[in-house]
Chains A and B, each alone.
Chain A
Amino acid sequence: MTADLIIEAEGLEKSFGSTRALRGVDLTVPRGTVLGVLGPNGAGKTTAVRILSTLIKPDAGHARIAGYDVVKDAERVRQSIGLTGQYASVDEDLTGRQNLELFGTLLDLGRDGARKRAAELLEWFDLTAAANRMAKTYSGGMRRRLDLAASLVGFPDVIFLDEPTTGLDPAKREDMWDVVRSLVTNGATVLLTTQYLEEADALADEITVIDHGKVIAHDTPDGLKRIVGGQTLEVRPAEFSDLQQAAAILSEVSSGAAADEIRKGVLAVPVEGDKAMTEAVARLAGAGIAVTELSLHLPSLDEVFFTLTGQPKKEEVAV
């Protein structure tokens, strides 16, 4: 089993001045899987990624990627990883193609190899038409795709994605998710950080939740959802006068839990599983109640933290 762990980190600690960014973080990722590292801003997610990708050294603890120590064998580690940061790490004055060819040269693919790989990735990420334009003219979504393409130039075994969809609109986010899924289908291992349980749920085989530099939970998405209490069904009846009756129906669907009016005219009940949605639709229709909004939500990060720590997430203090 341990032979299959491509990322192993134990007791990682890192301080910046008096700020303790990591206070003993363990992470393990089996080969060919996706680990979602979930946490709010300032939790230490980026610091952990920067240590694992050899950008910075841990103060304590150690980590191995594909069996190589991130400090002692950093050079080896760099040959098997790809990193996509929160901020586009491409050269904006270079074209998309020049960026990818530069990284190909730096990865010793040779002139022809670098060209071929760049063309391949541009095609795959739907950037061929924009290949000869400067990266600074790209839209946010294109820049992210170029950035991700750049991290794949060297055929990495392990790919780090630091908040890959922050700032993308929902459609672009779905595209990015498809890309991540196809990377894994092709045998890569992915560690992605995110602030959205929805994203971790959509992609990750396992989720590690960190807060204030510590791991506060590690589980499968289903396991985590069991802990934090499944999903919430939100309904907005078309007629305000139907609110009472709708609340009663939703309460029954939710097997007894009270439906709260979370916003004006919007009811919410906790539900288990996706069946509840179909059932609610059928029964509301049966009672002749028209509905203008109906949606199923996973708990927000705030709610996850509330459940895991028993207290509302405090505003991060800027340091």
Chain B
Amino acid sequence: MTTLNVAPARVTANPRPFRLVRHSLALAKRSLIKTYRTPEALIDVTIQPALFLIIFVYIFGGAVSGSTHDYLQFLLPGILAQTIATGCIAIGVNLNTDLAKGIFDRFRSLPVPRSAPLVGAVLGDIVRYMIVTGVTVGFGYILGFRITTDPLRALAGCALAVLFALCLSWLPVFVAMKVRTPGAVQGLMFALIMPLSFASNVFVSPDTLPGWMQGFVDVNPLTHLVGAVRGLFLGSPLGSHIWWTLAWCAGFVIIFMPLALRAYRKKV
């Protein structure tokens, strides 16, 4: 073994600017490498939307819309939103698993902003959500789905879906900091996401639902995301769906990001 310069210490008196951004990006890259190494972790964002499209379009399509094509046009934005919502659960499960390992001790012993490991994990998942969007729309096209607006609005719809996913992620991240096992994260998140995705406009038009449930549907963030994406993909009335979606995005970040960071700091 050759000798190595260990001293003197490199003390950064004035840390370089944008540390949170740089460190978060470095840690996002770590998440990306992990995703790339374990492609089977992408099943929830690849096979699942394709499977759901087939099941719902061909089983319920005729009954709900009278034609499978009409139902496919209606359903695709809904499946996109639903897959995004369930796809978010993975980040919570992964972080909860990760926290138990020594790597997070290492992060905590480095001069890295406390929030960087969590921000990095959320940013690293952006690729997953782009895959979800690509797979859902792409597979939809094979089945006969067609965007009827223009490419710009279509892109805006995809971007809105990815943004929503990144913001919603802070909820499972917070849950991951609070509960003890990855299984508990999964269980709790499913219990939250399932009512959100069914009591909404994802699968059917909410007109036939009982009044009290329509109240819930009207405030449901997924309803607004689906409404916005349908408008941007198919030209249906947008109303205030985009604004409500953005408001929900901001709400998720404003509420759950500080809670998650606080819970992370408290974790021993």
Contacts and interface: CB of A to CB of B under 8 A. Distances in A.
A108 B12 CA distance: 9
A186 B23 contact: no
A88 B3 contact: no
Nearest to A68: B11
B106 A98 contact: no
A90 B104 CA distance: 9
A186 B11 contact: no
A93 B29 CA distance: 12
A87 B101 contact: yes
Interface string A66-98: 100000000110111111010111110110001
24 contacts: A54-B108, A54-B109, A55-B109, A83-B105, A88-B102, A90-B103, A93-B34, A98-B30, A98-B33, A105-B22, A106-B116, A108-B111, A109-B10, A134-B37, A152-B4, A154-B10, A154-B110, A155-B5, A155-B6, A179-B1, A183-B6, A185-B3, A186-B6, A188-B6
B26 interface: yes
Interface string B106-129: 111111100010000000000000
B261 to A, nearest CB: 16
A91 B103 contact: yes
Interface in B107-164: 107-112, 116
Contacts of B108: 54-55
A156 B112 contact: no
Nearest to A85: B102
| Size bracket, chain A contacts | 35 or more
Contacts of B29: 102
A106 B6 contact: no
A120 interface: yes
Interface in B68-106: 101-103, 105-106
A134 B16 CA distance: 31
Contact of A107 (B6, B37, B111): B111
Nearest to B22: A105
Contacts, number: 125
A89 B1 contact: no
Contacts of A53: 109
A108 B19 CA distance: 8
A82 B9 CA distance: 11
A47 B80 CA distance: 47
A170 B48 CA distance: 50
A156 B11 CA distance: 9
Contacts of B4: 120-121, 124, 152, 182, 186
A182 B3 contact: yes
Contacts of B12: 79, 108
Nearest to A150: B106
Interface string B210-222: 0000000000000
A107 B110 contact: yes
Contact of A83 (B6, B19, B34, B106): B106
A43 to B, nearest CB: 18
B34 A94 contact: yes
A294 B7 CA distance: 42
Interface in A92-148: 93-94, 98, 102-103, 105-109, 120-121, 123-126, 134, 147
Interface in A270-295: none
